[in-house]
Amino acid sequence: MEKTDVSIFVSSLKKSYKDKEILKDVTFSVPTGTIYALLGSNGAGKTTTIRILTTQIRPDGGTAHIQGFDVAKEPEKVHRVISLTGQFSALDESLTGMENLLIMGRLHHLSAPEKSAVRLLEYFDLSASSSRRVSSWSGGMKRKLDIAMSLVGSPSVLFLDEPTTGLDPQSRLAMWQIVRRLRDGGMTVLLTTQYLEEAEQLADQIGILHRGRILAQGTPSQLKSLLPQGAVRFTFRDQEDLRCAAFLLGKWQTSSHPAECALTVFTDGRADTLRELFRHLREGHISVRKFSELSPSLEDVFLTMIKEEKSYGKNKAKL
Ligand SMILES: Nc1ncnc2c1ncn2[C@@H]1O[C@H](COP(=O)(O)OP(=O)(O)OP(=O)(O)O)[C@@H](O)[C@H]1O
């Protein structure tokens, strides 16, 4: 198999714990030097996928290759080319930033660990705090140092499990900047996230993972083009009107946004169709507070995909 342009190649990955199927069929590939986001809600199977790809657990079925190395058969070779920054920090908070990096450099048998530490502290804009104990650092700084530590062995593939969870908006933007810079330097990055905005802003390609399956994947604009264009959004007075409208307009594909009391309806964009939508709402005595035409957002794609998967699951259960 030719994998020179593909750093991560995953085919039909399966994993169960007892009788619970966590990964049912996960297939995707990540071109070298790009960022791929596995986007999914809590419990979708993101961390389980990362744990398999970083050789911490074995899959029950399917295969995965990193830089051409089989994660199940060649774990040592995989270790040489990857690095992982997980949800739990690997830092020793009683030490300074410099000391943490020096320990990591020695673990990797670097010939000049000091040089590497200084370079990384500069790269991550942490030089000014390098001699302070990490326990006094902010969450954003600790997360940066975590990534710096994972770069000590010069990996070519970086796994980031929810890199910005718990960070304030400013630190999140700084982290995005770092990840983009690493990609621009040629690194392949696989990150997991629950944040739609993060996936859209950062990833070259996104895979929507839901209940152990990739429901759709592609660039953000490819994913958006999966939905019919000509979407419109209605905002209603209250939740009851929203529920009622979703029911009345059920013959169209819709996605509900309860927090904003809004309903997106995917139409063919024709004037006749719009007239029909308004007629249904009028006959249902639902008043529309706001109306706008929009192009589908990634959130619409995500919610629609998940909804379709649910109804597919229900139909399957009936068979
Ligand atoms: N060792 C284990 N034994 C049993 N069940 C597990 C184990 N590890 C994970 N699970 C279950 O597998 C499912 C998927 O977990 P996973 O951590 O992969 O999800 P996730 O998408 O990363 O979610 P989160 O965003 O919450 O981390 C969850 O229901 C979890 O409880």
Q: Which atom of ligand 1 is nearest to the CA of 192?
A: 22
Say which residues have a Cβ less than 8 Å from residue 19's Cβ, sequence separation at least 6. none
Pocket test for ligand 1, best of 14, 22, 164 (most atoms within 8 A of CB): 22
Distance between CA 253 and CA 257 in Å, rounded? 14
pLDDT at 318: 27
- What ipTM is given for this predicted complex? 0.95
- Quick one: pLDDT at residue 230? 81
Q: Comparing C-alpha atoms, which of 249, 282, 283 is closest to residue 266?
A: 249
Instruction: Give the ligand 1 atom nearest the CA of 161.
Output: 22
139 lines ligand 1 (CB under 6 A): no
Half-sphere exposure of 125 (CA within 13 A, CB side): 8
Residue 177's H or E segment, with its range, is helix 169-184
Q: What is the pLDDT of residue 179?
A: 93
- Check residue 21 and give its pLDDT: 95
pLDDT along the chain (319 residues), means of 10: 76 94 96 96 92 95 96 95 82 94 91 93 93 92 91 92 87 90 95 91 95 93 82 94 96 92 90 94 96 83 77 37
46 lines ligand 1 (CB under 6 A): yes
The confidence score (pLDDT) of residue 311 equals: 54
Domains and CATH numbers, the chain: 6-217 (3.40.50.300), 231-295 (3.30.70.100)
- At 246 the pLDDT is 96
Say if ligand 1 is within 6 A of residue 210 CB: no
